Amino acid sequence: MENTFRDQIKLLSRMLFTFFFLFLILIGGLFYLIDNPETFESSKTDSLQDVTEADDKVENTIDLANGFIDDEGMEATIQNCTGCHSAQLVTQNRMSREGWKATIKWMQETQNLWDLGANEELILTYLSKNYAPTKKGRRQNLENIEWYELE
Ligand code: HEC
């Protein structure tokens, strides 16, 4: 009687230990899933792939990764003009060749922009061709307006 009781206690404690162990694995698994939800979400890895593909994609002649117009000289411009500020600071501007040259000179004199060497001609041509001032004497006509009568 004494012996079997002990055996039962041993069996019970082994079972408890096993369940406790399994419980730990379960909790560990749950925490892993919380930290890495993409394990079961294939859509997330898909969109990640889309982003990587967009890096090399050029659509409507705009390079999707940086917003520059795809043309000769774009690479040199990206290399020399996006290190200190965003690409948008460049692409939002419209200047003549002289204007771009003056901006570059200003950055060289005051902002530590390096000597662009042979790339300067390439960059100036690229910028003055693709980011030239739009000559418009007056604003564009409004389009698609729904006119209404004043009462
Ligand atoms: C060494 C750093 C550096 C590099 C490289 C650089 N710039 Fe700049 N640029 C600046 C700083 C600093 C400003 C001022 C930013 C501000 O006002 O917030 C600036 C401003 C500008 C502006 C706005 C000027 C204005 O009047 O508001 C333009 C346009 C510009 N940069 C174009 C370029 C182009 C094109 C190149 C490549 C040839 C270039 N930047 C490379 C530092 C740099």
pTM as predicted = 0.62
Question: With contact defined as beta carbons under 8 Å apart, do 93 and 133 qualify?
Answer: no
Which residue lies with its CA nearest to atom 37 of ligand 1?
81
DSSP element (H, E) containing 105: helix 97-110
Model confidence at 125, pLDDT cuts 50, 70, 90, reads very high
Q: What tokens were used for 80?
A: 């020399």
With a 6 A CB cut-off, is 74 part of the ligand 1 pocket? Answer: no
What is the secondary structure of 10-33 as a DSSP string?
A: HHHHHHHHHHHHHHHHHHHHHHHH
With a 6 A CB cut-off, is 107 part of the ligand 1 pocket? Answer: yes
Above 90 in pLDDT, residue 3? no
pLDDT in tens, 24-83: 999 999 999 888 877 666 555 555 556 566 666 666 677 767 789 999 999 999 999 999
With a 6 A CB cut-off, is 44 part of the ligand 1 pocket? Answer: no
Above 60 in pLDDT, residue 131? yes
Above 60 in pLDDT, residue 115? yes
